[in-house]
Structure 1
Amino acid sequence: MKRFRGQGTRRSVLKMVGAAAAFGSVMGASAGAADTHPPVNVVINQSPWLAGFAAIADYYEEDTGNQVTLDVNPYAGSLEKQRNAVRSAESEYDLLIINGIFYPEMYHGGFLEPLQNIRADFDLDSQVYEYGGTPWFNADTKSIGKDAGDLLTVPVNPNITLLFYRKDIYEENGWSAPTTFEEMASNARTLHNPKKFYGIAQRAGRATVSITWDFLPYIEGHGGSYFRDSDGGDYFVTINSEAGRTALETYVGLAKELGPENSANLTQGDLIQLLVTGKLLHTVLPAAAWAQMDDPNKSAVVGKIGYATLPAAEGFASTPALGHWLGGIPKNIPDANKQAALAFLDWFQKPETQIKYAELGGAPVSAAAYESDFADLPENRYMQAMRVAAPLAKGMWTIPEGAELASVMELGLNRAVAGEISVVDTLNAMAADLEKVLADAGYETGRLPDLK
């Protein structure tokens, strides 16, 4: 059974691992065929996809005889432990599970060992999604992309947002999954009944990154953006555009009209709880939350939840938020530990492992899993939505100042949903603060004129 580090985490995670294992039978072990490596210490966050990852790490031990230990932490705690580890004389962790929002901090800081320095013939499996080229980084040009430079990480979880909705209620009304915000709002308005269930709930509680990530599909889906071209390195601030105004008015309006009274405080855990208890018609969650929807020990809506790529305003494209997770190996560990961590990543990315990961309740990162027969089973319908959503997903930034940018937006967006400040004042204030963060960090930036 998986070994865990940290107080108060072992018992709860072991329960999740046991539940996840029910999703598939364990294939025959082949430990004799594997190389022997030192134990791999992994720092990871507590999340809806932890049970699946813990289960596949357990299976790694059964399949190879090599040990993996998970140090499980809250989101912010995991980030802080990683920051401390890579700056110490020797990292206590051999594998860092790095969020796709904060990976630039590790890349730009030069803290990760290029994987082909560990094993020259190593490469990303051809069926693993590249998630905007984020596994690669060029330290000279400070750019990401397959053609940019070194392979620094292997994706371990897609963490793409999907629309979760009550498929059974939609079918009763003869509706298909909504493709526009207008359609979703109309359906939610028609059925909203707080005594029975809410029409929609959205994350708005302030955290390390919460509402900032969940609002991205709204502004992009209205033709706007946080920055002019973050993927291309252009950080001129555009959050206070007319499209931004419409998007935030939509987000705030849905929360006030069709959500719970405490909408400004809702966390991801709250959304999951509302959904599995049958109190919610629509919400947006990372794909990995699907495993809890059909767990009879947790859910009152088994088989009733549908999944779809996120809506957009009429005439604009769906843009799921990309907050994937990447496995990276720190430079400041012994060579034997680097080899051990890479052996796990290499095993993890193989097509057969990725299919097993899906069977164990994880969210795979490989087309091999999403295009397998397993993905076509009715109980795995989230995987069918992921086929559509994965190529559309977009990240928020590729620079190491992400924590400061998120801090500005978490405060501003939360206050707007809470009604403490108007939409226009929120957007103008955030634009000014974002411009200052970027300018102080030495970027060529600017911002749109204030909205009136």
Structure 2
Amino acid sequence: MSYADELAPINIVINQSPWLDGFAGLVDLYESETGNTVTLDVNPYAGSLEKQRNAVRSEQSEYDILIVNGIFYPEMYHGGFLEPLKNVDPDFKLDPQIYTYDDTLCYDAVNKTVNCETGDLLTIPVNPNITLMFYRKDLYEQNGLKIPETWDELMANAKALHNPPEMIGMMQRSARATISITWDYWPYLISHGGSLFQDEGNGDFSVTINSPEARKALETYVAFSKEVGPENPASMEQGDLIQYLVTGRAAHAVLPAAAQSQMDDPNKSIVAGKIGYMTIPHAPGHPSAPALGHWLGGIPKNIAQDHKVAALAFLDWFQKPETQIAYAEMGGSPVSAAAYESDFADKPENRYMLTMRTASPTARRLWTIPEGSEIVAVLEVGLNRVVAGEISVVDSLNNMAAEIEKIMVDAGYKTGRLPDLAN
């Protein structure tokens, strides 16, 4: 594919986000290098999703690339709205240094699962947005603390630094939103050996959110909120976590990697240079499991062929190692090992990238079915009520399992659920 060829102008619908400036800078670079034209249609999160839903269901999409959220991509995959990239160019291949993010780039339409061995490549990742643990590395050094590997070790460190209201040991999102507490709870669930379904990859959608492992995960989550968290932990949003960190009032916080851009900004942070980054802890015997909330670039089926070719040309250029390094240099969040293993990543101001080297390959998806929007609504309420003290861990998990099972039954899946947990 030649970028020197004159290609059709393309429109990209994208969300307003902390990493938008880096992506927009890369678009400018692409235009200057190739002479091709790219227009960004920037919208709030919900507005971007709505525009995408309307575009793929219209006679012809007004957008040539959809920047799809890693929570709601199953709707696009299962609906058959995205063009397999090999259909645009049979010779196109994913650059080997691009992370596949738990196989979420590929879809097996026969088995209706994400699988890069049996499925078609539908998207190229454009932003990783996985969770990292942000922490006060200066306080670790002053108190002789070691980077924790397990949740118990993290709790010990958080207790050592917890001195409310001046210093909160641990901040995590527990408010209800489109997706908030669910995303922060997910690493606890998976890293304790829990799961939402029995074997989603092979079509067994028996609900397992009320397993003993899930119980231990939620008890651990709640313990952090109660023992080393702020007042009213059930109201904490992402913006609150960032504010606690940049104002020097939090020792730890779970945040998407993109939030690192604010930590060393002297106009926003009084702790510039003092924030470190670590991989999300785990329970003994299980790996770390950062939650994926990434963004994927896909090409809708309902556009003209010349626009598909132009869209793929941009995505192909975007995935190149040299482009990904430039993306990092512009303040974006790259999706390629090439950037995280570059000299740029070794600079002190880019120290989050060293953690991303370890965290990116272990990041875990949430679900792969279009009913996710219904499921997350159940999880947001159930998990939030536990942190707020309105319901017990056991009752919440049992109730959520029953509600999710009903969603799956109504949608026609092979399902069931575990017996209720006992108090």
TM-score range, shorter chain: over 0.9
Aligned to 2:160: 190
Partner of 1:211: 181
Q: Is 1:238 matched with 2:241?
A: no
Superposed, 1:217-366 pairs within 5 Å as 217-366=187-336
Helix, strand or coil at the partner of 1:301: coil
Paired position in structure 1 for 2:137: 167
Which residue among 394, 413, 417 is the counterpart of 1:443? Answer: 413
Aligned-partner SS, 1:344: helix
2:223 partner letter:
G
Q: Deviations over 1:235-279 (max 9, x none)?
A: 211111122122112212211232222321222222122212212
Deviations 1:340-396, CA, capped at 9 Å, x for gaps: 211111110000000011111111111111111111222211111111111211111
Q: Which residue of 1 aligns with 2:95?
A: 125
3-state secondary structure, aligned to 1:144 = coil
If the length of structure 2 is used for normalisation, what is the TM-score?
A: 0.95
Any idea what SS the aligned residue of 1:244 has? helix
Counterpart in 1 of 2:339?
369
Q: Deviations over 1:384-439 (max 9, x none)?
A: 11111112111111111111111110111111111121111111100000111111
Q: Which residue of 1 aligns with 2:365?
A: 395
1:176 aligns with 2:146: yes
Q: What amino acid sits opposite 2:81 in the alignment?
A: F
Amino acid corresponding to residue 93 of structure 1 in structure 2: Y
TM-aligned CA deviation for residue 33 of structure 1: 6.8
Measure, in 1, the Cα distance between the counterparts of 2:341 and 2:76: 32
Report the equivalent of 1:155. 125
2: CA distance, partners of 1:280 / 1:145: 39
Q: How many angstroms does 1:73 deviate by?
A: 2.4
Q: Mean alpha-carbon deviation: is it higher for 187-196 or for 356-365? A: 187-196
Change in Cα spacing, 1:359 to 1:237, as seen in structure 2 (3 Å) is same
- Which structure 2 residues correspond to residues 24-173 of structure 1 after superposition, within 5 A? 34-173=4-143
Shift in Å, 1:98? 0.8
Aligned residue identity for 2:40: L
Q: Which runs of 5+ in 1 are unaligned?
A: 1-31
AA matched with 1:266:
M
Percent identity over paired residues: 67
User: Could you tell me whether the CA contact under 8 Å between 1:76 and 1:208 is conserved in 2?
Assistant: no
Partner SS state of residue 407, structure 2: helix
CA contact 1:230–1:396 (8 Å) conserved in 2:
no
Asked if 2 retains the 8 angstrom alpha-carbon contact of 1:43 and 1:82, the reply is yes
SS in structure 2 opposite 1:326? Answer: strand
Paired AA for residue 165 in structure 2: K
- 1:430 aligned residue: 400
Q: Is the 8 A contact 2:22 2:330 kept in 1?
A: yes
5+ residue gaps, structure 2, are none
SS of the residue aligned with 1:236?
strand
Instruction: In structure 1, give the amino acid aligned to 2:47.
Output: G
Alpha-carbon distance between aligned partners in 1 of 2:254 and 2:21, rounded to the nearest angstrom: 20
* Matches of 1:138 and 1:262, distance apart in 2: 44
- Secondary structure (helix, strand or coil) at the match of 2:206 reads strand
Distance 1:228 1:33, change over 3 A: closer
| Inter-partner Cα distance in structure 1 for 2:100 and 2:139 | 36
Instruction: Give 1:182 deviation, angstroms.
Output: 1.1
Q: CA, structure 1 residues 186+57, in 2 after alignment: closer, same or farther (shift >3 Å)? A: same
SS in structure 1 of the partner of residue 351 of structure 2: helix
| RMSD of aligned residue pairs (Cα, Å) | 1.7
